[in-house]
Every structure is written in structure tokens, then in C-alpha cells.
Structure 1
Amino acid sequence: MHDPEPWRSKLYRELGLASVQSAGPAAWLIILARSLRMFAYGAVSVFIALFFSSLGFSDFKIGLFMSLTLLGDVILTLILTFAADNVGRRKTLLIGSIMMSVSGLVFWNLENYWVLLFAAVVGIISASGGDFGPFRAIEESILSQLTSGKDRTRSDVLSWYVTTASLGQAIGTEASGRIVGRLKDMDGWDEKRAYHAIFALYVVFGIVNAACVLLLSDRVEAEAIAKEQDAEEIEAEVLLSHQEGDRQNLEQDQPNPPASPPPATSTSLSTSRLAQLSPATRSVMYKLWPLLAVDTLADGMVNLSLTSYYLTSKFQIASSTLGDITSMAFFLAALSTVFAGPLANRLGLINTMVFTHIPSSAAVLLFPLPPNLVITIILFFVRMGLNNMDQAPRAAFIAAVVPASERTAVNGITSTLRTLSSTAGPLITGSLAGQDSFWIAFVTAGVLRLSYDFGLWALFVNFNLHQHE
């Protein structure tokens, strides 16, 4: 009779840490790079609306800035992710890291609205706190390539990819709140100069992100898929030759039809990526993309920067307190996403996405109703604490229904559509804030998010996964 598995080993396996370890150094570097990058995003996003307000820009200009910044992310994501598998994923991530540092350098030193807008549009500035740039689509493709959906390692690794990102955001928002508060109390430092200093983090972590990219091996490239497919085809042919005996020579004279669509590396940049997707992939994504667009439109209307701005305007919260509240929310998000992988393995990807997202959506809907700060903060914690639990299952779901050779293109299109749908959100909310009707944005966003939840469950709850694996 075998001894029962030690509880520490079981916990290590159940929480997905064993899957992360087995994924290898490339996965660890990807997870590290994103967590550090989200530190910078979190540090900046909580104060960026307040930064523009301190420069004397109107609420409409703040909303316009966020919308146009997201539009710039759309263009950048289209260019970089569509070229990633052809040019090289590491080169593409390196370019993004450099652009991140350059944008941070501009915000660190300048105050002209149009110069800052240009730097945000053509570079990488997270005005909303989300990871809408080109990094995430490519990184999720790499992690999906390094893991398997059938043995459940993929959902575990993607869960920790989200968990460490939330943890990085939490530490970033906490640090920025403390830094801004401390700098404002120093002689010769005012509010604007303190906000400027936060953007120095963008420069530093852009450089660190580049260092992580340079350490990645060629296992992360799309060409690795083609090599694995070739090896599998050779192995299958050898096995078939042994089984068929005397017919081996005859079958070797016949051309072997391709077992799957050609890898993305062999396609031309001039051909539309959407047209290159297989009919099965398009059939699934044509249902999923509109739902994701609705969800991200809602998130754009009440993103972290605008929510922080709303809280400050309604309750006159100090910068350090705002940083503490936001940081605690991200810590809760990091804690909850630890369980996203185990839940997905037991409840299923779609059930996990929907059942964890509905309470978060309801909190958005009810957010403007409480007249006191305590209940408002509780709703904020519910929203933020559960908001990221659907991210890893969603990435695992896409990887489970899309062939490996199409994942970067699908992730790029998905990221582009989500970012594009977010661009209208801040502009709408900025207009409402100017009319003292900010609360309408939260109610509308809550209804849209709930529509996404129920639509997702109705269309995909019994969907057949891993047909291509």
C-alpha cells in the first residue's frame, strides 16, 4: 500500500506551482517581465488622471487622452503582433520595451498636452492600468506554446502569469502612493513634480523588461512550432513504415498532405491575418470577439484611473490613502487569481470565467450608490479582487480552441479588438463627468459586463475543447 501524498506536495501541485516549474526558464522570464512591467503600470495608472488635472487639463481632455492612448495601443498592437511571428517574437518584445522607456522619459520631463499625447499614442503608456499593448498577446502565445492544455499545465501557468501581474500592480500602486506623498512633503517639490517622478519607473522597468527578453531562448519563437510539427510528422512516418511493411516504398513515392495549416512564420505580412485563420477558428472567434468587445467597453468606461479620479472627487481622498486602497485591491486580485487555475481544472474554463466575473460586474453596477466611503471601498474590493480571475481561463480557452500556428494572430486580433472597444469608454465617461453624471458610467458598465457574462455562458459552456491537440 502506497503512502498518501504529503500535503505540501499536494498543495504545491494543486496551486499550479509544479506546472510553473515544469514550464522552464523561458516561462519564468515571461512571468517575471510582466510582473515588473505591471508594477510600472500600476504605479502610473492610479495617478495619471490626477496628473493631468494638476496640469490644468479639463475632464474632457483627460477622457480624450485616454481614448486616443488606447487607439494608439490598437495601432501598435496591430503592427507588432502581426509581425511578431515573422520578424521574431523576441525582437518584437524588445522593440516594445524600448518604446516603453522612451514614453516614460517624455512623461518624466514634459508637460505639453499634445506632446504627451503623441508620446502616449506612438509609444506605450498604460493610462488605464491594463496591459493593452503588444506584450500580452505575444507572451500568452509563448506560454501557450510552452505548456499543454490536456495535462492542465497551461491554465496553471497562465493563472500565475495573471497572479504575479496583479501582485506587481499592487506593489506598484502602494509604492507610488507612498512616493508621491513623501515627495510632496519635501522642500521644492509640488504635486506636479511628484507625479513626474513616478514616470521614471517606466524608464527603469522598460530597460528591465528588455533584459528579460534578451535572456529568452529560441524556444519561444513561432519557428519552434514548425520544428515540433516536423519532428512529429517524421516520427509518425517512421511508425507507419514499420506497420505497413511491404507497402513502405510505394507510400514513400506519394506526397504527404499537410496535417495542419502552415505555421505563421511562412506567411506573408502583406496577407490579411484574419483571412489566414482557419474556418473553425473564425467560427469560434466570431462569437467570442463581440462579447469581449462589450466587456472591454465597460472596463474602459470605469477603468482604474477614472475610478480613482471618481473616488478622489467624491470623498476627497489623500494620495497616500488612495494608493493604499488601490494596492489592497490588487493584493486581493493577486490572491484570488491563485485559485483560478485549480477552479478551472474542476469547474471548467467557461464556468470559472463566468461565476467569478458576475460578482465583480454587480459591484461595478452598485458602485456609485453608497453615500459613505466604507461601503464604496468594499464594492471596489469586490470588483477588483475578482476582476482578474477570468483572464487566465480566457487565455487557456483561446489556446484550447485555436491551433498553435494561429495563436499569435488570434491573440493579436483579440487584443486589438479589446483595446479598440476600450477607446470609446474614457471619452464617454469624461463627457459624463463634466456634466456631474459620473454615476451613469458605472451603472451602464455594470449592465454591459453582466451581459458579457451571461452571453459567454450561453454560447460556450458546453464547447468541445482541445480538438486540435
Structure 2
Amino acid sequence: MIQVQSIQPTTWLFTARSLRDFGDGFMAILLPVYLLALGFSPLQVGIIATASLLGSALLTIVIGFLGAHHDLRRLLLAAAGLMVATGAAMPIISDYALLLAVAFVGTINPSAGSVSIFVPLEHAVLAREVANVERTRMFARYSLVGALASAGGALAAALPDFMTRLGLAQLTAIKLMFVLYAVVGILGSLVYARIPPRPASHETDKPGTLGPSRAIVLKLAALFSLDAFAGGFVVQSLLALWLFERFNLSLSEAGVFFFWTGMLSAFSFPVAARLSRHVGLVNTMVFTHIPSSVALMLAAFAPTLPLALALLLVRAALSQMDVPTRSSYVMAVVTEAERAAAASFTSVPRSLAAAVSPAIAGALFAASYRAWPLLICGALKITYDLLLLLQFRHLKPPEEG
């Protein structure tokens, strides 16, 4: 019999990440369908997405300071509890103002990606558990399990279609998926509880603040904000909305499509880790990102559904290769005592910036300018990539030095 104590903390962390990404995977697709079924407009859907991302950003600010002073496991358990409360509250509310409030204070993630209060905590735990030489590979594995789980969650988004064939109303079926989201949060909390408690570091007098790496982190945060603002125009919920409105895609078809985008993203992570050993972390981020943005912009003009889906699949295969490399790079260029704060300081501006653009995209959808969110996203992301290359191509992590 395997003893609980023999399992590595990283294994528990990966398991918890896969559970919450599974929940995020189906919620990102079902959220716009649920809101439209309640009678809300695309603009209101965009505002809900903005509220969700803005709330995550503000909670991440708090987490960034608490993470240096409190046990990370305890904070992860609190975040999982919030996930349970969110899943329990969403299906019993139909008033828009209350839904907006739940989106703001809860954990619903319209991007189905690494924009949540869990992220800086998990990054800090992972970075402390691995050596420098293993860091990028472990971040790639961490991203891989999350993306695979998110792909599975996307497939699960088709469950309401099957439930309707059994006689359930679509709205009732979607509400049951929110209950499933709460159950996933409970399971996640049980897994987080297995991570060994470890008191916060007291190596510095002010462990919650940035020290010698402040200038680097602030510059990275500014660039990451531009990237996140761009990405907010096509968070998964809004991309699903675009496909629903432009090509009349069904819920089941959307689930299958986002499953495959998730699979492509997942298997791009180990490729990114391997590639980074040869060309460096920054080059890997930039030279995989630019072609993905071009594919997204071309998809905006695609005249047929198969061509649009093909271009979006190309984008999915490339666009997330910067995720493990970016996380590893941030952890590499700061001191160990600054890692929790650095993860927060780079995550918060991303979340704040990403919170603005979904409402703008929703307004563009409502005005029938459906291609513009994709075009704006691609152009801004290419700008971010070029600036990142110019600013950081000479700042190498220890393993590249």
C-alpha cells in the first residue's frame, strides 16, 4: 500500500491543478450559453467576464501579500472553498446584478486558463519544490496536466446536450454542471490538504515585498499586462460566443472543438520546455507566439467554419507555449524570497488588464463587429512579443548563463 507521505508535493499540486482546470474547462464554454439562456445580451456576457477577471485580479493582490506571511496550503484551501461557494451560488441566481456580484467575488474563469487566485500560490509552491535545472520542465508538466484536464472539461461541456435528450431542460442541465463545478472544488480541497504545510520564509524583514528584482518584475508586469489585455478580447467564453454567433456552432460541436484545442495546447508545453533548452526561454516565448497571433487574425476573415476551426487549431498548437516558459522565467530572474510576491505582481496586472477587454469585445459583438476582437487581440499580442524580445533577450536565467 502506498503511504500518503511518500507522494511528492508536486504530485498533489498537479492533481489539484487538473481538477480545477477540468471545472474551468466546461464552465468557460457553458457560461455564455447559460447567460444567453437567461435572456442576457452579448454585451452583458462580456461584462460578466470582465467582472470575473477583475475580481480575480483584486483577490490575487491580496494573495500576493498573504502568500509571503502565511502557509501556502492554507491559502489554497481557502481558494478551493471559494470555488465550492461559486458553484453552489451560480445555479440558484437569475438576477443579473447578483450574477455580476458572484462573478466578481467567485472563481468562475471565462478564460479557462491560468488567470485565477490559485496561480501565484501554486507557482510559489512548485518553485520551492524543484531545483533550478528542473524548473522549466516541471512548469511544463504543470501546464500540461492542467491543459489536458481543461480539454476534458471542454468535452464535458457537451453533457447538457445529452441531458436534454433524456428529457431535461437545457437550463436545468447547465445548472447541474455548476453543481459539478462545486463538487470539483470539494475534491480539489481534499487534494490541497495533502500538500505538506510549510511556514512562510522569514529570510527577509519584509518578505511580502519585492527587493532587488523590483525593476525586472515591474517591467515584466507591464509587458504581461499588454499581452493579457490582448488575450481578454478572445477569452474562451467569448471565442465560444463568436463561434456560436458567426457559424451557429452547437454546444456539442463546441465541446469537441475546445477539447482538441486543449489537447494541442497541452502537448505544446513539453515541446516548449525542450525548445527552450536550445533557443532560450525568451526566444521560445516570442517565436511561437507571433505565428499563433497571425493565425488568429486570419481566422477572423475565414469564410467557412472548417477554415476558421483549422486556423484556430493552429493557434492553439502555438499560443500557449509561452505559458510554462513565462512562469519559469519569472521564477528564475528573482530571488527565492521574492517568488510569491513576484508571481502576484506579474499575475495581478495581467488579470486587471484582461478584465477590461471582454466588456469591449462584448460591445463589439453586440454592434455586429464580430471580427474586430480577434484582429485587435492578434495585433496587440504581436506588439507585446516584439517588446519582450527587445527588453529581455539579454537577461538570461541561471541555467542559460
**Shared fold per TM-score greater than 0.5:** yes
Say if 2:253 is the partner of 1:321. yes
- TM superposition shift of 1:176: 1.9
Q: Which amino acid letter does the alignment assign opposite residue 252 of structure 2?
A: S
Aligned twin of 1:233: none
Query: Which letter maps to 2:210?
Result: L
1:203 aligns with 2:182: yes
**Match of residue 206 from structure 2:** 267
Distance 2:247 2:396 in 1: 48
Match of 2:80 in 1: 97
- The residue correspondences of 1:259-408 to structure 2 (distance < 5 A) are 262-263=203-204, 267=206, 273=208, 276-278=209-211, 280-408=212-340
Q: What is aligned with 2:3?
A: none
Match of 1:254 in 2: none
Q: What displacement does 1:90 show?
A: 0.8
Q: Is the 8 A contact 2:221 2:345 kept in 1?
A: no
How many angstroms apart in 1 are the aligned matches of 2:333 and 2:7? Answer: 24
Query: 2 CA distance for matches of 1:367 and 1:297?
Result: 19
Q: In 2, distance between residues paired with 1:337 and 1:127? A: 21
The Cα shift of 1:398 comes to 0.8
Calculate the TM-score normalised by the size of structure 2. 0.95
Gaps of 5+ in 2: 1-5
1: CA distance between counterparts of 2:263 and 2:172? Answer: 28
Q: Which of 40, 50, 58 in structure 1 is aligned with 2:41?
A: 58
> Which moves more between the two structures, 294-303 or 362-371?
362-371
Q: Distance in 1 between matches of 2:217 and 2:67?
A: 20
- Conserved 8 A contact 1:222-1:405: no
Report the alpha carbon displacement of residue 154 of structure 1 after superposing the two structures with TM. 0.4
User: Partner amino acid for 1:324?
Assistant: V
Correspondence 1:186 to 2:166: yes
CA apart distance, 1:102: 0.4
CA apart distance, 1:128: 2.4
SS at match of 1:338: helix
1:85 aligns with 2:68: yes
Amino acid of the structure 2 residue aligned with 1:38: D
1:109 to 65, 89, 92: 92
Residue in 2 aligned with 1:216?
A: 195
2:157 equivalent to 1:157: no
Distance 2:69 2:192 in 1: 17
Aligned-partner SS, 2:274: helix
Structure 1 residue 24: deviation in Å? 6.5
Contact 1:291 1:456 in 2 (8 A): yes
SS in 1 for 2:321: coil
Aligned counterparts of 2:335 and 2:224: Cα–Cα separation in 1:
20
Identity of aligned residues (%): 29
| Gap change, CA 1:24 and 1:282, over 3 Å in 2 | farther
- Match of residue 397 from structure 2: 465
Distance 2:253 2:373 in 1: 24
Aligned to 1:421: 353
* 1:443-467, Cα deviation, whole Å (9 max, x unpaired): 1110000011111111111213239
Give the greater-gyration-radius structure (CA).
1
What corresponds to 1:29 in structure 2? 12
SS of 2:396 mapped into structure 1:
coil
How many angstroms apart in 2 are the aligned matches of 1:34 and 1:404? 22
The one-letter code of the counterpart of 1:88 is D
Instruction: Return the offset for 1:104.
Output: 0.4
Letter of the 1:283 partner, please give it.
A
**Which amino acid in 2 is paired with 1:108?**
P
Aligned to 1:167: 148
Aligned length: 395
Cα contact 2:157–2:251 (8 A) shared by 1: no
Which secondary structure state, in structure 1, belongs to the residue aligned with residue 267 of structure 2? helix
Q: Give the conservation status (yes or no) of the 8 Å contact 2:217–2:345.
A: no
What RMSD in Å do the two structures reach over aligned CA positions?
A: 1.7
Gaps of 5+ in 1: 1-22, 227-261
Q: Aligned partner of 1:174: which letter?
A: L
How many angstroms does 1:156 deviate by? 0.4
- Which position in structure 1 is the counterpart of 2:105? 122
- Mapped to 1, the partners of 2:117 and 2:60 lie a distance apart of 5
Summarize the alignment of residues 131-146 of structure 1 with structure 2, pairs less than 5 Å apart.
131-146=114-129
TM-score by length of structure 1 reads 0.81
Output the CA distance in 2 between the equivalents of 1:201 and 1:357: 34
